[in-house]
Structure 1
Amino acid sequence: MSYFGKNIRKIRNVKKLSQQAFAEMFELKRGTLGAYEEERSEPRIETIIKIANYFSITIDDLLTKELTVNKLLKFKEDLPLQGTFEKDDFPKVPCIVPASEQDYIRYYDKPHFIEDLPCLCLPVDPNGTFRGFVISNEDNVENERGLRPKDVVIGERVQAENFLKTENGSLILTLVKEGLYLRKFYLFGDKITLKATNNNIKDTVIPLAEVKELWLIKYTFLQRLPDNASALANKLDYLEQEFKKLREQL
């Protein structure tokens, strides 16, 4: 059994290299590197030698042993930890940013592409599957309110068998062939209508069968403090003050 694929993947993670960056270092195509990591293809001996020499790893270790993080960082494995402490391990949420949005549409189902996305560490349910999304348009801006560019939403994955159970009016992130949509979800028969909050944006109607992914938005992170005041709240406050005055007069 060869550990080559697993080891180069670990090297990338330790050295904080994307698949693209690692591939370019050794004159490889990104898809070729992905095939190595997924053990769908075996590397040429010249490639093995280049990688082993570059990272000062013996060919034997690279191929026949599962490398440890300590070895890759040149730590001594027998170095004792100084004290112990407890920490919370927040789940890492892969986040789609504007620069990676088009690549996500193409490679959304490639595990190693998802691993290369920037991650947010958040106190969310560790048993769920989440996706972050940085907003780049004004589809959901209404009268200076709502979600604006650079705001971040976090969606929980809805499995395909549960698409029909999604409540109408839910804010969802949908992946279809044409792109990614952050809209409100409405189901009519075998089609869904994706409605933007911004009334200047036309509704998008898509056959349910064309939906590749659906993420139900659970959390939002705004680039500003939320404005909790509303016209209705102001009216209620005004009425309460008027009733108070009346009670004092009686």
Structure 2
Amino acid sequence: MSQAGQNLKYLRKLRGWTQEEFAIKLGIKRSLIGAYEEERADPRLEVLEIVSEIFKVSLDELLLKDLNNSSGSYLAKRRMQKMMTADRNIIHFVPVKAAAGYLAGYADTEFIDELNTFTLPMLAGGNYRAFEIIGDSMLPTPSGSIIVGEKIEDAENVKNSQAYIVVSRNEGIVYKRIEKNNRAKGKLTLISDNPQYQPYQVNTDDIVELWQAQMVISKVSQQQRWDMNSLASMVNNLQSQVSSLKKKMN
């Protein structure tokens, strides 16, 4: 008999997550978490693979072993402690100078392990990464800021108007807000906070990673100052973009 349902419940409680929080991490509905934990349904393979990555356990362990067995060996208990704290607040940092290498090595654990890391105590357990951004397309977020993002496993789970680090084969690493257009299947619209930059679309097939922005770290001395002419120009450009988007949606 599969242990998956009880193991998912045990691992969720190790992290102190509610069923709703766990469901968001896995990109599924909360009701499915309840069904899995009550053994009314078997977790799908893709769900188990995400759980395996988060808690650093194998699929065999999830399916066949009782991870809640407190009578295990000392090593087993130590492994449980490691799973409980795995990836908690450990954030790998991708500076601009490493961006080109990241596009080739984002899936290479050895490359990722070579990146510098830091921690932020205010973040709950999860899969986080930090990226340095350059340019003025997301003003008033200044150039040189560090964006800390949480991994999104599926483009279908992105939320409109939220900011993301988008890693794609053609565009590289960009920091943008995302809008989904139900009429443009397989595409996402990327929008800059600075309205002087026009929105553009990317194919979801071209995207290799999505990280939802959770925090922005920037130097205190970096303060963007606006003059009235710049603000007026930005408002006019924004109005033009809104009109253009309305026409496309209609």
Q: TM-score, normalised by structure 1?
A: 0.49
Q: Which structure is larger by alpha-carbon Rg, 1 or 2?
A: 1
Q: TM-score, normalised by structure 2?
A: 0.49
